[in-house]
């Protein structure tokens, strides 16, 4: 239920063009490099993935904007035990709520909270998939920090962001594990001004 409420709120924020000036809707997608940080010091290797979603860009002032997003994100990590590689494939729908400072030349700095909703979780070893969704919490909280550039005449841009997980993703485990990830992507804002 929380998932549907958050998606509805984000959708409403993205479709308020009639009530706000300088509102743009856009699409984004790109490359992920995620890992899991464990409190017991066990190190995992980063796992590549993708992200794809919708963005809203709402100008609050000349150089300040609010950017809510709804993004599918493939995350997780991989580790080797006894020479056998296991991939932990986590799929989330993330809702970042970014506040941006916009420079006059198209560059932007951004930061804000993010809530993620786990949609699937599988552990893959030797081509055998095991569903591990019940071992993980359905909701993940974090912070995003990044920078971007938009080409003002076209609305086409690039974006780099680091997502720092704050909440423990384990359901029943003494070890605290949090998501960590780097995202590099492109975006397009329709009717950009």
The 3-class secondary structure across 42-92, one letter per residue, is CCCECEEEEEEEEEEEEEEECCEEEEEEEEEEEEEEEEEECCEEEEEEEEE
What is the CATH classification number for the domain harbouring 148?
2.40.160.20
For residue 189 the two structure tokens come to 């804002």
Q: Model pTM?
A: 0.86
Quote the tokens at residue 74.
């493939």
Contact 55, 187 (CB under 8 A): yes
Question: What pLDDT is attached to residue 18?
Answer: 39
How many C-beta atoms surround the C-beta of residue 115 within 10 A?
Answer: 19
Residue 102: give the domain boundaries.
2-189
CA nearest 169: which of 54, 9, 50, 34? 34
Note whether 169 and 136 are within 8 A (CB). yes
Q: Could you tell me if 192 and 24 are in contact, meaning their C-beta atoms sit under 8 angstroms apart?
A: yes
Report the distance separating Cα 67 and Cα 134, nearest Å.
32
Domain count, the chain: 1
Q: What sign does the dihedral 182-109-100-155 (CA atoms) show?
A: negative
Tens digit of pLDDT at every position of the chain (193 positions): 555 555 555 555 555 443 446 899 999 999 999 999 999 988 999 999 999 999 999 999 999 999 999 999 999 999 988 889 999 999 999 999 999 999 999 999 999 999 999 999 999 998 899 999 999 999 999 999 999 999 988 999 999 999 999 999 999 888 999 999 999 999 999 987 6
Alpha helix locations (H) across the chain? 2-14
């Amino acid at each position: 239920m929380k998932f549907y409420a958050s998606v509805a709120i984000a959708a409403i924020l993205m479709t308020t063009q009639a009530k706000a000036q300088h509102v743009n809707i856009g699409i984004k997608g790109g490359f992920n490099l995620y890992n899991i940080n464990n409190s017991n010091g066990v190190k995992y290797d980063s796992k590549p993935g993708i992200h794809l979603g919708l963005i809203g860009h709402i100008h609050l002032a000349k150089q300040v904007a609010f950017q809510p997003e709804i993004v599918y994100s493939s995350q997780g990590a991989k580790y080797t035990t006894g020479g056998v590689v296991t991939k932990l494939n986590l799929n989330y729908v993330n809702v970042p709520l970014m506040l941006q400072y916009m420079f006059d030349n198209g560059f932007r700095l951004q930061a804000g909270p993010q809530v993620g909703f786990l949609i699937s979780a599988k552990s893959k070893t030797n081509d055998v998939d095991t569903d591990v969704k019940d071992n993980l919490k359905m909701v993940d909280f974090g912070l995003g920090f990044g920078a971007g550039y938009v080409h003002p005449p076209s609305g086409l841009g690039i974006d780099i962001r680091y997502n720092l997980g704050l909440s423990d993703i384990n359901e029943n485990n003494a070890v605290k594990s949090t998501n960590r990830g780097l995202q590099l992507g492109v975006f397009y804002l329709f009717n950009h001004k």
